[in-house]
A and B are shown apart, each in its own frame.
Chain A
Amino acid sequence: MPDYAWPDAQHRTLIGTRVSRVDSPAKVSGQAKYTYDVHRPGMLYGKVLRCPYAHAKIVSIDTSAAEKMPGVKAVHIVQGPGAAIHWAGDEVVAVAAVDEPTAEDAIRVIKVEYQQLPHLVSDAEPPKGGAQEEGPLSMDALDDMLDNEMPAGQMVSQIQQYGITEKPSEGRLNELKEDGASDAVLDALRTAAVHPEAASKLPSSYQKAAAQTVGDPEKAFAEAAVVSEGLYGIPLIAHCCLESHGSISEWTDQDHLFTHISTQNVSGIPGQMAEPLKIPATNVRVHQDHIGGGFGSKFSPDRWGIFTAEISKKAGGKPVRIMLERDAELEVAGARPSAYARVKVGAMKDGALVAWQSNSWGTGGPGGGGMPPIPYVFSIPNQRQEHIAIRNNIGPARAWRAPNHPQAAVLTMCALDDLAAKLNMDPVEFFGKNLNLTKQRENTYREELAIASELMDWKQKWHPREQIASGGMARGVGLSFHTWGGRGHASDCDLTIHPDGSVELKLCSQDLGTGTRTCILIVASETLGIPMDAIQLQIGDTTYPPSGGSGGSTTIGGVSSSTRRAAADARDALFTKVAPALNTQPDQLECVNGKLSVKGDSSRSLSWKEACSKLGAMPLTIRGKNPDRSKPPDLTNSGVGGVQMAEAEVDADTGVVKVKKMVAVQDCGLVIDLKTAESQCYGALIMGISYSLYEEKVMDPSTGRMLNADMGFYRLAGLSDIPELVVHMMTGKGYDERGVIGLGEPPVISPGAAISNAVANAIGVRVPFLPLTPDRVLAALEQKAGA
């Protein structure tokens, strides 16, 4: 068995250093091509007619005027008469025309008659005593639970308690498995009671999940020295990818499709397109060079990706481009589910947490949405949770960077912070005291908490909530903890060494902007012993070996492992060919800085080029492949912890909040590129500031439409809203030897809770819901003044 293990610290030259992104020059000079930049010869422009109502039935569609319009090449009915629409902006008809204005004109002359139905776009607290359904679960509801990463235990207990509306086929079960359903969930589905009659019943908007209890919360609350109760929440936000969703599709012949698509999942797209298009997955070629943001919303080709291909076919195979407009991007292309809760927590006098009770609710659109994993990070010994999922017409939710964790962090860390305030304890001391409840992460968190406190100068900055300046500017600090999995995904790669010394590496991964290209090259270069720029890396095309989707922070672990394997095997194969020429055994060879030499005797050496000429006529190609997920991981691992602190300043007269400083201390096992790892955390903090202070989907109650589907009122933080950001990556002993672990999601989990806690510390009162806008801050201050 070859030894793939990561080199130890003394033997690393590149891994763990700060390496600049290899694609930065292309990106900053505008040479990098995003899907949005793709313009194919003879390309047609597609436009979509969208339903203006949040809930409606299509009665009739008349496309005749559009079909007759000069320049219109294809008209495609996406949802026909009889179809039910569940959110405004849903697709009804698509057209392709020779240019954008013609396509728009064509859309405008299509006549659709709708029957409007009552809608709900609110996610306010479910009315007490209102109709709350505890009915059997539909397949949609199950999909939704998986999307929301509901813990398997919760799913199983709900399936057992409520039953399901239809018996899933083995094929359907397989799909669920691919979407992440555990074996326990699948077994529960196989044996669940089936209630088909419930499927036809008009569903209530409020679906109650089975209550869960651990230990004896009632008794624990009775014995607790201090109990704190509060209301917390985090709204529905859009993914707001700066490059919108969409694709350019063309048929290269009757049954071969070529698609450029903005996706986090290049390898996974053909399989998802094949079935609806009724062609084998092998006949779908997908290509993407660069992507302008996905955040969890770009794993599937989407309905519009499929009909782009269908319209292309109708238009004789010509390339058709449909990239979503900004308003559609914000309305239909994904949202992070909201989560709200009334939380009660209890602790003993010394701060030891003993009891948790939460009544939570939230929405993920028409499917409802699961309960976030609360209490988060801290396994409080006695707990009780009740959750109501609101099914409404705000549009479909999608996985958003660490699905359900930012919500869980806000609901948990803010409640615990309020408890610390009631105990009159410094949160660092309070959370520190309870770190035993974080189980296997305890040591990591303890080390991180100490470093974060130092970097924030917490001791100087924290003050009890009562000690605040009245009026004028108030400052405060807050903190939060988070965790994530991040084990590497399946990833194949082909590494080829040519007899002339050139090297290429191909895999159908994607670089989400996280630095994947750079990290792959670092690993290949470190392993082969040749410079990064001596290796040609090709990603983003389905003609290369399949590599997993970039979700769940699985990419870095996946691609670094398979690259390491392929490079190590290729290097050893080359050593075998070269050893006779240097009169030695292969295992006596090493390659450093492009020079192959006998270990300990640098006089016996060959340049890389000379060495490769010993390969003979044929290049050497090695396939790198990661071990099956059922085996324990070797080069990658799962489970990280992070601590973040925020300092905020509040203008108590206007309620305007400014974040003044953020500290992120994060572990992710062995760091491949320290620079891109730090950048990942900076980016997450910026996104975190955005969703803490500005972002929210504003829905109009009466028309059911999103009112701020533009960049003017869907606010994102700008440069001048970003303060000093301090990132510290945990490396060295205790971290490096765990292997490579994903980092895409974890650092975006805590900002909401940390910033909310900083504001509470600054003004002495909790602002219950994000985003922390002036109206909410002033309302909290007023309530405090009245109390």
Chain B
Amino acid sequence: MRPFEYVSPNTRTQAISLLGASWGNAEILAGGTDLLTLMKDDVVAPKRLINIKGIHDLHGVSSNAQGFHIGALTTLGDLADDATVRRNYPALAEALPEAASPQIRNLATLGGNLCQRPRCWYFRNGFGLLPKNETGKELAAGGENRYHAILGNEGPAKFVSPSTLVPILIAYGAKIRLEGPKGKREFPLEKFFVIPKNEGEREHDLRPNEIVTEVVIPPASDVRAAHYEIRQKEVFDWPLAVAGVALRMRGSNVKSARIVMGYVAPVPWPSPEAEQALMGQPINKDTAQRAAEAALTNAKPLSHNAYKVQLARVALRRAILKAASGGVS
């Protein structure tokens, strides 16, 4: 780890003023479960570390008519134990304890979870987010890409978006709130994730001097939702495919659907094709399968990850069936 300056502001305004106008100089430190690893491995080397944990109004959760507000510094552990989450957003409550390990969840914050960097092993070994070797050859496309993207991989970005919570959050219609020197921004969570085209660009729509302040999930009492993950190991393993599904029903047919895949693309991947396929349909094995197939029609696997197409399909099919049956696995 390289030497750095460490500051602990107490307000959002202070924190924002300490951030720089370009990437690379300053980093926000929340739980540190991701950032410290990146620093130890010399993948990122900020000159200034801004510990935001002293900013009180970024902690904790609250509810109002808009929905459920989650402060960026709320830990995944606290969220998993939260009664409102369990009651009103059972699919999120199911996804939380599947993420990482109890020790990590006790430190990891939701804001950090949304901003965590990709797990791509080329990136983590210092070859860049759009990994190239010294001669400029793209490494992931012709290399060890068994865990890489099968969708949205036309450009140089081949990594997959790492959060397992984001697909179900997007399916529930979550919004993200940011704050920077020019004020606040709010937009649907899926818009927060972008595919970088050049090295040096980030995978989030976050300006270098902005912080994530909260996530708002709208009320979901009429939603049937489910989260499904395929991992090789039983627990504490990076998944191979993730699906988040939220259905609104009219009688026994689908009125509207939100369907999002994770671990398939450099961004969380909503599938309007699958949503369309379910519209007006009852949920059964056949309709779920058709929706899953529609979602993967455009998949373009790399040299070693064709199997992920099948896994993404299965995760989606199982999530749809699980959602329809009330979210119980």
A contact residues vs B (CB 8 Å cutoff): 101, 104-105, 653-656, 658, 693-694, 698-703, 705, 707-710, 712-713, 715, 717-718, 720-721, 773-775, 778-779
Contacts and interface: CB of A to CB of B under 8 A. Distances in A.
What's the dominant secondary structure at chain A's contact region?
loop
Q: Which of B119, B137, B238, B310 is most buried by chain A, counting CB atoms within 10 A of its CB?
A: B310
Contacts of B230: 654, 656, 774
Nearest to A779: B307
Contact of A718 (B2, B127, B139, B233): B233
Q: Which of A653, A655, A702, A705 is most buried by chain B, counting CB atoms within 10 A of its CB?
A: A702
B5 interface: no
B307 A701 contact: no
A708 B234 CA distance: 20
Interface in B1-48: 1-3
A702 B307 contact: no
Given A104-B1, A707-B144, A712-B238, A774 B233 contact: no
Contacts of B143: 700-702
A773 B308 CA distance: 12
Contacts of B124: 710
B255 interface: no
A699 B144 CA distance: 8
A656 B234 CA distance: 10
Interface in B110-153: 119, 121-122, 124-125, 127, 133, 137, 139, 142-144, 146
Nearest to B120: A707
Interface residues of B, number: 32
A693 B231 CA distance: 12
A576 B73 CA distance: 77
Nearest to A777: B307
14 contacts: A653-B310, A653-B314, A658-B234, A694-B232, A700-B143, A707-B121, A710-B124, A712-B119, A713-B119, A717-B233, A718-B237, A774-B311, A775-B307, A779-B307
Contacts of A712: 119, 238
A360 to B, nearest CB: 24
Contacts of B321: none
B328 interface: no
A700 B142 CA distance: 10
Contacts of B304: 775
B133 A703 contact: yes
Given A708-B121, A717-B233, A775 B144 contact: no
A715 B137 contact: no
A518 B34 CA distance: 42
A718 B127 CA distance: 30
A656 B315 CA distance: 12
Interface string B216-232: 00000000000000111
B316 to A, nearest CB: 12
A693 B232 contact: yes
Interface of B: 1-3, 119, 121-122, 124-125, 127, 133, 137, 139, 142-144, 146, 230-238, 240, 304-305, 307, 310-311, 314
B238 A718 contact: no
What's the dominant secondary structure at chain B's contact region?
loop
A603 B234 CA distance: 63
B238 A713 contact: yes
Q: Which of A707, A709, A721 is most buried by chain B, counting CB atoms within 10 A of its CB?
A: A707
Contacts of B119: 712-713
B1 A101 contact: yes
A524 B316 CA distance: 63
Contacts of A710: 124
Contact of A705 (B125, B231, B307, B311): B125
Given A653-B314, A718-B233, A775 B146 contact: yes
Given A654-B314, A702-B139, A702-B142, A715 B1 contact: no
Given A712-B119, A774-B311, 12 more contacts: A101-B3, A654-B311, A654-B314, A655-B307, A700-B144, A702-B133, A710-B124, A713-B121, A713-B238, A715-B237, A717-B233, A718-B237
Nearest to B304: A775
Contacts of A721: 233-234
Contacts of A705: 125
Nearest to B142: A702
Contacts of A713: 119, 121, 238
7 A-B pairs with least C-beta separation = A720-B234, A775-B307, A707-B121, A653-B314, A778-B307, A654-B230, A720-B235
A700 B235 contact: no
Q: Which of A694, A703, A708 is most buried by chain B, counting CB atoms within 10 A of its CB?
A: A703
Given A700-B144, A702-B142, A715 B233 contact: yes
A702 B122 CA distance: 11
A778 B238 contact: no
A703 B307 contact: no
A712 B124 CA distance: 11
Contacts of B233: 694, 715, 717-718, 720-721
B236 A774 contact: no
A778 to B, nearest CB: 5
Contacts of A701: 142-144
A278 to B, nearest CB: 37
